[in-house]
Structure 1
Amino acid sequence: MLNEQLSSQLKTHLASLTHDVEFVASLDDSAKATEMRDLLEQIAGLADRVSLRTDGTSARVPSFEIKRPASGDADMIEGVEFAAIPLGHEFTSLVLAILQVGGVVPKIGDETIAQIRAIDRNLAFETYMSLSCQNCPDVVQALNAMSVINPRISHVAIDGSLFKDEVEERQIMAVPNVFLNGEPFDQGRMTIDQIVGKLDTGAEARMADEIDAKDPFDVLVVGGGPAGAASAVYAARKGIRTGIATERFGGQVLDTMGIENLISVPKTEGPKLAAALETHVREYDVDIMNLQLAERLVPASEPGGLTTVELANGAKLEARTVVLSTGARWRNMNVPGEQEYRNKGVTYCPHCDGPLFAGKRVAVIGGGNSGVEAAIDLAGIVGHVTLLEFMDELRADEVLQRKLRSLPNVDVVLNAMTTEVIGDGSKVTGLAYTDRPTDEQHVLELDGVFVQIGLLPNTEWLAGTVELSERGEIVVDDHGRTSVPGVFAAGDVTTVPYKQIVISMGQGATAALSAFDHLIRTSAPEAELATV
């Protein structure tokens, strides 16, 4: 199952194990169980410290646990389980779980490890995921690490396509979907800090106190996507005090599957690029404040004064200059039923949630590149796709349209105005739309709605402070300057055309350099300014 190159790489990693690791598999005679056994046997054959037992008694079959047997120099570790054949995006999760059970310390901050060890109650986590989901590995890896660190925590990662009965029973229509002690815990991408913060109710208050105590920054970047990361790097390289406050490092990039137009990087995936961005920023003296949502901007009261950014947790940050790079989010349809059935059939990530609709009927809303690409991807998984476009023609590139037209299980409806998402109270059952030229009403019977109608800038919190365009974007000039002195902006949140990763990076660099120039000019004596 693993090719020669991958086996060689894995063998090198397994050489770092300091303790024995056991796979304890619960198998039957199914094809999937045979596939799981083959994978585990192949991995066990790569290292003397790894062995396989097939006498597992898990209620989920096929599945396997990863355990460390008790020995004289190490305690037993158990609680890491895969009810899945963890290939694809989850192969890294499997490798990390083996290494961590085998003695390799998780790459987590000391403070977070201390918080995890301090948990004094039994926590049994279950994560429903799909192997094509780029958001799922972060959650799986976080909960696996927590179960290695604290024996009172256990975790099982469940492939929804392998255990369809559970998915139906629990009405899971979006992944990752996490249950704790049998009850819903949370959905969507989560970092280990977010999970721990949700369990440790005092963590947010402690973080707010720490942030309040910070000295003013020379440059404070708000937002951690490509623009924010570039701004932080360029500012830090000037040797000035730089901070970055972000709700999630990577931003919209985390929700992007394939990236093939970032110059010099022929192909990568969003989560990999986001991790690389954070790694690069951490190479510099940048104060990174994750899980921080900005709620208000208070401009400086006088030239050269401090601008304040107020956060959702009540903390305040001050800076001589600010770079706004809060990016954008998926645009909603804003029709009845959309929010009621969000993650109950209404979804925004075809790569993540597509496998949950295998063999079913779904709709894709939007005829741009994103919508047509989603329809093409889903056509290979679901039973039937109906793509609805508001205008009288698709807006996607012609090469994508040709591919779409070649698919036998896809219908395209033009001039369609979606009017309602219909459901039975627990899940989506249909979609209503109006034919715009005739005003005729139609209802589609289906199980899922994938919304792909563009992005909205994250600027609601800036209303009344910086100038915004009619579309809610921050108005900037060619230096990234906003209408407020000392406040700059970059990336998808601005009026700069063409929302592309490479453009955001360049714009982030421009904003940081402009902020540095502003600092020089507002701090230099007047006699010196004449020669600048």
Structure 2
Amino acid sequence: MLDESLKSQLAAYLERLQQPIRLEASLDESDAARELEALLRDIATLSDKVEYVRTDDDARKPSFGIVRAGTDIDVRFAGIPLGHEFTSLVLALLWVGGHPPKIEDDVAHQVRELEGEFRFETYMSLSCQSCPDTVQALSLMSVLNPNIKHVAIDGALHQAEVEARGIMSVPTIFLNGEQFDQGRLTVEQILAKLDTGAASRAAESIAKKDAFDVLVVGGGPAGAAAAIYAARKGIRTGVAAERFGGQVLDTMAIENFVSMSYTEGPKLATALEQHVRDYEVDVMNLQRASKLHPAGADGLITVDLENGASLKAKSVIVTTGARWRQMGVPGEEQYRNRGVAYCPHCDGPLFKGKRVAVIGGGNSGVEAAIDLAGLVAHVTLIEFDSKLRADDVLQRKLRSLPNVDVITNGQTTEVLGDGAKVTGLVVKDRASNESRTIELEGVFVQIGLLPNTEWLKGSIELTPRGEVVIDDRGATSVPGVFAAGDATTVPYKQIVIAMGAGATAALSAFEHLIRSSAPAEQAQAA
């Protein structure tokens, strides 16, 4: 099942096992079950601390548990965790086998202190780059606290279960039989939902912090670069981020990042956060800004957070990035994650054999249509303009596919549904003003980005599109406030450009601090 290269890598990891583990399989007569058994047997041959047994005691087949021998500590997978989930498998093997996870001590303590019975089920797909973070977070929690149980379920393999529960987006998480959440989750985010006092404790802790020299608001590539460049100047630096990595976390393949021929968004996001933490930077995750106040009499800029706390700083760098733009038509929000989706890599496998539409004819939209065409029965690509805007090479590939139709001059005016899921779209021909209904089961929206700057309205100059107006040094209309990345007027929204802009903003902020402190120092000297 595993090639020799993967076996060699996995064998090296399994040398870190401190306690014996059992791979307990529940199998049926399917091809997938035979593949899973071959995988588990391969793993068992790589370490004398790993034993494979077939128990067939789980109703879900094929599935398996990784069990610490002689304990009730286990992690379960209903599927074959390869693809994006191979890392989840490796980490589960190590954690159940006693290798300590990388987690902050206070977070681990909070997990261990949770009381009650928590039975989590995560529906994922092997092509989903968002799913591993959620799977790994819940697997880790189940190892730290025996009251927490978790199974990761491959939705493509257990299609009947997905249909019965009406799951149309991954990851989807159930807790004790009821839907808990959807989307990428970290341990901290899960704890915030389970431990109702966590948010207030975090707010109290933040309120006690001294003023920063530089406060970076946002944790994407621009924010990470800004934090690193500021910290290297030896000044007090803080980062307040809703989720570290930002939009990069939702990016599949990255092939234009200079010095790397290929990487993936989650991998790059992890590297960004680790690089920032190599310095003395106060990283405050799960924090969303709600208001910016220019410097007052004390010379400090204030950033209010949604949890009620406030942070003060001598200078601020805004790097809050952007999010997927929505169509803004009736039915879109009602059927979000019930047929309306924004990530074809994550949710595409759930629409196998069905009819879908892709909204948007740029590179993202055409790439999505190409990818989906290999999974679904039929793809209809709808572009508002009179022609597609994607690169020619992508357009040629798209038009060569037999199960793809392209509609130009098409305006989506409504998403239709039966109350539970999407059933179709209403599309108006912009040339004739005639509307027609397209019957389908899924809609993938790929129409660009919207800057996350609503919290800055009334405080700072924004363009009509909501972008922060900056000059060539990253300065905004408010003294001491700088900005970088996709939230700004920078003309090209690219990772490498955001990083450079973040570095520019940090150097400009440092220069601002030097200039603004010079008069006071000269007066004291006199």
**Bucket of the pairwise TM-score, normalised by the shorter protein:** over 0.9
Are the aligned partners of 2:216 and 2:319 in contact in 1 as well (CA < 8 Å)? yes
**1:80 paired to 2:71:** no
Q: Distance in 2 between matches of 1:400 and 1:282?
A: 39
In structure 2, what is the equivalent of residue 366 of structure 1?
Answer: 360
Are the aligned partners of 1:65 and 1:78 in contact in 2 as well (CA < 8 Å)? no
In structure 2, what is the equivalent of residue 73 of structure 1?
Answer: none
Structure 1 residue 60: deviation in Å?
0.1
Tell me the alpha carbon deviations over residues 400-424 of structure 1, each in whole angstroms, 9 at most, x when there is no partner. Answer: 1011011110000000000000000
Amino acid in the other structure paired with 1:226 = P
**1:30 paired to 2:30:** yes
Correspondence 1:41-440 to 2 at 5 A: 41-70=41-70, 76-302=71-297, 305-440=299-434
Q: Which runs of 5+ in 1 are unaligned?
A: 71-75
Q: Distance in 2 between matches of 1:120 and 1:467?
A: 48
Are the aligned partners of 2:222 and 2:319 in contact in 1 as well (CA < 8 Å)? yes
Amino acid in the other structure paired with 2:108 = I
Q: Distance in 2 between matches of 1:63 and 1:500?
A: 41
Secondary structure in structure 2 of the residue aligned to 1:143 = helix
Amino acid in the other structure paired with 2:137 = A
TM-score scaled to structure 1, two decimals? 0.97
Q: Distance in 2 between matches of 1:36 and 1:27?
A: 8
For residue 489 of structure 1, the aligned residue among 483, 486, 490 is 483
In structure 2, what is the equivalent of residue 20 of structure 1?
Answer: 20
Q: Distance in 1 between matches of 2:398 and 2:482?
A: 41
Secondary structure in structure 2 of the residue aligned to 1:23 = strand
Q: Distance in 2 between matches of 1:120 and 1:510?
A: 47
For residue 441 of structure 1, the aligned residue among 435, 439, 448 is 435
Are the aligned partners of 1:466 and 1:482 in contact in 2 as well (CA < 8 Å)? yes
Amino acid in the other structure paired with 1:449 = V
**1:511 paired to 2:505:** yes
Are the aligned partners of 2:253 and 2:265 in contact in 1 as well (CA < 8 Å)? yes
In structure 2, what is the equivalent of residue 499 of structure 1?
Answer: 493
The size of the alignment, in residue pairs, is 523
Structure 1 residue 30: deviation in Å?
1.0
Q: Which runs of 5+ in 2 are unaligned?
A: none
Q: Distance in 2 between matches of 1:43 and 1:58?
A: 21
Q: Distance in 2 between matches of 1:55 and 1:508?
A: 54
Amino acid in the other structure paired with 1:418 = T
Q: Distance in 2 between matches of 1:55 and 1:390?
A: 55
Amino acid in the other structure paired with 1:129 = M
Structure 1 residue 525: deviation in Å?
2.7
Secondary structure in structure 2 of the residue aligned to 1:59 = coil
Q: Distance in 2 between matches of 1:496 and 1:181?
A: 46
Q: Distance in 1 between matches of 2:179 and 2:55?
A: 30
Q: Distance in 2 between matches of 1:322 and 1:146?
A: 35
Structure 1 residue 78: deviation in Å?
3.0
Structure 1 residue 301: deviation in Å?
2.2
In structure 2, what is the equivalent of residue 525 of structure 1?
Answer: 519
Secondary structure in structure 2 of the residue aligned to 1:25 = strand
Q: Distance in 1 between matches of 2:107 and 2:302?
A: 28
Secondary structure in structure 1 of the residue aligned to 2:95 = helix
Tell me the alpha carbon deviations over residues 278-330 of structure 1, each in whole angstroms, 9 at most, x when there is no partner. Answer: 0100010000000000000011125x710000000001000000000000000
Provide closer, same or farther for how the CA distance between residues 494 and 67 of structure 1 changes in structure 2, counting only shifts above 3 A. Answer: same
Q: Distance in 1 between matches of 2:376 and 2:488?
A: 37
Q: Distance in 1 between matches of 2:233 and 2:522?
A: 20
Amino acid in the other structure paired with 1:55 = T
Provide closer, same or farther for how the CA distance between residues 29 and 526 of structure 1 changes in structure 2, counting only shifts above 3 A. Answer: closer
Amino acid in the other structure paired with 1:33 = A
Q: Distance in 2 between matches of 1:65 and 1:507?
A: 46
Amino acid in the other structure paired with 1:510 = T
In structure 2, what is the equivalent of residue 39 of structure 1?
Answer: 39
Provide closer, same or farther for how the CA distance between residues 445 and 19 of structure 1 changes in structure 2, counting only shifts above 3 A. Answer: same
Structure 1 residue 92: deviation in Å?
0.4
Identical aligned residues as a percent: 67
Are the aligned partners of 1:362 and 1:447 in contact in 2 as well (CA < 8 Å)? yes
Structure 1 residue 527: deviation in Å?
9.0
Tell me the alpha carbon deviations over residues 229-275 of structure 1, each in whole angstroms, 9 at most, x when there is no partner. Answer: 00000000000000000000000000000000010011000000000
Secondary structure in structure 1 of the residue aligned to 2:397 = helix
Secondary structure in structure 1 of the residue aligned to 2:9 = helix
Are the aligned partners of 1:79 and 1:153 in contact in 2 as well (CA < 8 Å)? no
Amino acid in the other structure paired with 1:113 = A
Secondary structure in structure 1 of the residue aligned to 2:94 = helix
TM-score scaled to structure 2, two decimals? 0.98
Q: Distance in 2 between matches of 1:339 and 1:142?
A: 28
Secondary structure in structure 1 of the residue aligned to 2:32 = helix
Secondary structure in structure 2 of the residue aligned to 1:525 = helix
Q: Distance in 2 between matches of 1:526 and 1:79?
A: 61
Amino acid in the other structure paired with 2:291 = R
Are the aligned partners of 2:124 and 2:152 in contact in 1 as well (CA < 8 Å)? yes
Are the aligned partners of 2:68 and 2:74 in contact in 1 as well (CA < 8 Å)? no
Structure 1 residue 505: deviation in Å?
0.2
In structure 2, what is the equivalent of residue 453 of structure 1?
Answer: 447
Q: Distance in 2 between matches of 1:342 and 1:498?
A: 29
Q: Where does structure 1 differ by over 4 angstroms across 4 or more consecutive aligned residues?
A: 526-529
Tell me the alpha carbon deviations over residues 103-141 of structure 1, each in whole angstroms, 9 at most, x when there is no partner. Answer: 011111111111111111110000000000000000000
Q: Distance in 2 between matches of 1:136 and 1:7?
A: 24
Structure 1 residue 79: deviation in Å?
3.7
Q: Distance in 2 between matches of 1:367 and 1:123?
A: 44
Amino acid in the other structure paired with 2:380 = T
Secondary structure in structure 1 of the residue aligned to 2:17 = coil
Tell me the alpha carbon deviations over residues 141-162 of structure 1, each in whole angstroms, 9 at most, x when there is no partner. Answer: 0100111111111000000011
Tell me the alpha carbon deviations over residues 355-379 of structure 1, each in whole angstroms, 9 at most, x when there is no partner. Answer: 0000100000000000000000000
RMSD: 1.0
